A = this chain, B = another copy of it.
Amino acid sequence: MTSQEALVEHWRSLLTSYNEVACHLERALSDAHGLSMSEFEILDRLVAQQCEKRRMQDLAADMYLSQSALSRAVARLEKSGLVARALCEADRRGVFVTLTTEGLRRHTAARETHLAVLASHLQVGQDARR
C-alpha cells in the first residue's frame, strides 16, 4: 500500500468514526437534555476551567467552533439559563461566560449520556494507523 493510499484510508476511517459518533451524540444529547454537541462541549469547557479569563476568547481558542458559531451557541445557552454573560470591566469589549447552577446540573446529567454514547459507538482501537 502506498503512503497516499494509507493517508486516504486513514482519513476515510476518521470520517466514518466521526460521523457515526457525532450523529449519535447529537441525537442523544438533544433528545435527553435539549443540548447540541457544541453546546455540551462549551459547558464541558466551562466546568473544566473555572478560573477567570476572557471567556469567549479562551473558549474559542481550544474549540473547533468559529467565533460566530461560539457567539451564537453561548447566546442559546444564556437564553436557556445554563450560562451567564458578564461584562469584563478591565476591557469592556470582553465578555465573561460562567456556568449557572442549572447549567452545572444539566452538564452533570448530560455527561452520563455523553459517556454512554462514546462507550457504545467509539471503538478506541479502531483508527486506521498502519
Q: Which of A5-23 contact B (CB under 8 A)?
A: 6-8, 10-11, 14-21, 23
A122 to B64, CA, bound (A): 15
Chain A interface size range: 20 to 34
Chain A binding site: helix, strand, loop or mixed by DSSP? helix
Copies in the complex: 2
Q: Does A102 sit at the interface, judged by CB under 8 A?
A: no
A7, A20, A124, A125: most-surrounded residue (chain B CB, <10 A):
A124
Report yes or no: B21 in contact with A11, Cβ–Cβ below 8 A: yes
How many whole Å from A30's CB to the nearest CB in chain B? 15
A interface residues with partner B (beta carbon < 8 Å): 4, 6-8, 10-11, 14-21, 23, 64, 114-115, 118-119, 122, 124-125, 127, 129-130
